[in-house]
Structure 1
Amino acid sequence: MGSAFRLARLVAVVVSVGFSYGGFIGIFRSGDTAGQKALGCGLLVGLLLLHLYNCVRAADGRRPTAWQWTLALQAVLTGAGLHLFASTWYGNTGFLAAAVLLLIRPAALAWAGFAVIVLAQFLSGLEVRPTVWDAAYLAVGHTAFVGLALYGVARFADLVRDMERTRTALADAEVTRERLAFAQLLNERVGTSIEEVVRHGDAVRESSDPPAVRERLSASLATEDDGDLLVYGSGELVNCLIKHELLDELKLFLHPVVVGKGKRLFADGIDTTAWCLAGTHTFSGGAVVLDYRPAQPPAA
């Protein structure tokens, strides 16, 4: 994935840590003992780490390994914090709400789970807030808001990933379109002749009479327009043409790279001494074009 997706994932992490910061502040400002505060901070750290594992999406978009167990553990930590620290834990339930929306399938079941978490926060809020409206504010203004915000940034990262994939697919499609256009043009100009070559291919390959092969191929490759017929690559075809003395020119591109292995350029039985170097051209990058011509012109 590209830098845009990595940046989107970083935003998801920063937003998650930002929401947890408010939870830590609530714990430290509470009237609980030092031991209770340490326990609350430990629960919140574990909750944050589980949320990052469950909800900061991978590049392939798949749910994390063993997500059922990590989601269950996240639910246990959320429930423990809600029970032990009801007066300060209300925003932290949003982490679980976001994880449920991102991990549970189908979507209807995920939204049902989201509603259950918001309801649980509302019922817990009734124990520590004087009015129903205050409890509803904790459930909606904190749990639901945090859950939807974390869900939103995670889905935004998914959107960035999909856009990058679409851009790559469009570029590949454009390359394919250009290749098809070139293939169509090539077929229009020499396609009929190539069909003739393929039709007579076995006879050409098995023939031991180079002049007869050359005459047959020349008839097969006859086109309305005069010009050169070029072959790029295709080692087997080139070796066959060399064997039957059907090449007028051979250009070899020599790159300054040591591979150490690979296919041989010339097959067994090819007489490489029948060619002489007619010219060279060196490019700025170090590549050299070697232009070879037959030592004796092919038989007409």
Structure 2
Amino acid sequence: MRIFQFLVLIFFLSIYCYSKTFRISHVVSDNSPKGLAISFFKKHVEFNSKGKIKIEIYPNGVLFDDREALDALKRGIIQFAAPSFSKIADYVPEFQIYDMPYLFKSMDQIHRSYISDVSSYLKQKALVKGFVVLAFWDNGFKVITTRDKPILKPLDLKGLKIRTQGSFVINKTLELVGAKPVVKPFNVVIDLLKAGIIDGQQNTFSNIYTQGFYKYQNYMTLSRLGFLGYAFITSNKFWNSLNSKEKKLIMNALEEATAFEYRVAEEKNKDNFIRIKIHSNMKIIKMDSKMLKLWEEYFKNYYSIFYPVVGKKLIDEVLRLE
């Protein structure tokens, strides 16, 4: 019996000694679509590797914000990250294609872009900068919330301080209507809203609810002005350090996590929209066809401004996916 116990001890010690620990940093809550998908990924990697690979998750920006995470990937401090497309644009400006106002019409078009020449082009551009894009994830189309006035038409945003993720396309979109973009990390937005330092922000229903933004805003316009998505990425250096078995295990887990993420992003946004309506007194401004056309036409008149950054060819490629 003692020999058996000894052998069991040796077995578990060998697993511990030869296990690898990989870190992933992200800025949203564990209960957000991205947070839930990362937990799903962790569970499957650890189970399928029989404990030989362990995943440590650092949510809510406790370790790094999205921009810092990209640098940390390069330096090997973390091994995975899932920054928004807008933050990857610091290295690959073309990722701002998803920030373009009213370029994408539906989630179906978004998903087709993930498996099209659009994603192939973006992956190649990222690889040149030292990043491997392993998957594209959803959150959803963004809406606008404000404190003091409802937003019915684009120029209603004039003079308002709106927090942004900081990409050129997002900032320029707001500047085109006279708004003042305020670039700040995601994890401080709630404090900015509480203090009244900003007048509003753009986000998805899931982020607005899970972060409590709705508590400090009185109006929400269902503008769908740009899309919020994420790239699940690693560094080229780290990816090349893995053996083929490890890569396959990670990609299999990520494939399942990505399918899960798409489902939960849709479900969470629908559910959180209902929760916002129940738990807040926000006035919700819906877009009828006439309003939507007004917004679309206003911004499409300025698409040429974005050509030098995003590229006309890439924009045309997205339009072919409609």
- The TM-score by the shorter chain falls in which range? under 0.3
Which one has more relative contact order, counting CA pairs under 8 Å at least 6 apart?
Answer: 2
Q: Give 1 or 2 for the bigger CA radius of gyration.
A: 1
What is the TM-score when the length of structure 1 is the normalising length? 0.23
More helix by share: 1
More strand by share: 2
What is the TM-score when the length of structure 2 is the normalising length? 0.22
